[in-house]
Amino acid sequence: RILVLGSSNTDMIIKLARIPRPGETLLGGKFTTAAGGKGANQAVAAARAGGDVAFIARLGKDMFGDQALAGFKADKIDTRHILRDAKTPSGVALIFVAGSGENSIAVASGANARLTPADVRAAEAAFPGSKALVMQLETPLPTVAAAAKLAKKHGVAVILNPAPAPSEKLPPALLRLVSILTPNETEAELLTGIKVTDDTSAREAAQALLAQGVETVIITLGAKGAYLHNARTSGLIPGRKVKAVDTTAAGDTFNGALAVALAEGRDLPGAIRFANAAAALSVTRLGAQPSAPARAEIERFLKT
Supply the minimum distance, in Å, between the C-beta of residue 279 and ligand ADP: 3
Note whether 225 binds ligand ADP by CB under 6 A.
Answer: yes
Strand, helix or coil for residue 248: coil
Residue 111 to residue 134: CA distance in whole angstroms:
19
Which of the stretches 25-33, 106-114, 148-156, 220-228 binds ligand ADP when contact is defined by CB under 6 A? 220-228
C-beta pairs of 171-174 under 8 Å, 24+ apart in sequence:
171/141, 171/145, 172/212, 172/213, 173/145, 174/141, 174/144, 174/145, 174/148
Catalytic residue among 62, 75, 85, 252: 252
242 binds ligand ADP, rule: CB under 6 A? yes
Amino acid identity of 57? Answer: A
C-alpha–C-alpha distance, residues 115 and 195, integer Å: 33
Binding mask 143-182 for ligand ADP (x = CB under 6 A): --------------------x-------------------
Q: What three-state secondary structure class fits 293? A: coil
Query: Which of 122, 211, 244, 286 contacts ligand ADP by CB under 6 A?
Result: 244
Stretch that binds ligand ADP, among 2-10, 149-157, 217-225, 295-303 (CB under 6 A): 217-225
> Is position 217 an interface residue for ligand ADP (rule: CB under 6 A)?
no
Taking Cα atoms as reference points, which of 100, 76, 42, 55 lies closest to residue 291? Answer: 42
Compute the distance between CA of residue 261 and CA of residue 46 in angstroms, rounded to an integer: 9
Q: Among residues 236, 230, 226, 203, which one has the least CA distance to residue 275?
A: 226
Q: Give the span between the Cα atoms of 153 and 45, in whole angstroms.
A: 26
Would you call 85 a catalytic residue per the annotation?
Answer: no
Shortest Cβ 251–ligand ADP spacing (Å): 2
227 binds ligand ADP (CB under 6 A): no
Least distance (Å) between residue 280 CB and ligand ADP: 4
Query: How crowded is residue 279: how many other Cβ atoms within 10 Å of its Cβ?
Result: 33
The binder of ligand ADP chosen from 7, 9, 179, 220 (CB under 6 A): 220
* Interaction mask 176-195, ligand ADP, x per CB under 6 A: --------x-----------
Q: For ligand ADP, which residue of 158, 250, 257, 259 counts as binding (CB under 6 A)?
A: 250
For residue 33, the tally of other CB atoms under 10 A from its CB is: 13
Residues annotated in the binding site for ATP, as ranges?
184, 220-225, 251-252, 276
**Interface with ligand ADP (CB under 6 A):** 163, 184, 220-223, 225-226, 239-240, 242, 244, 247, 250-251, 254, 276, 279-280, 283
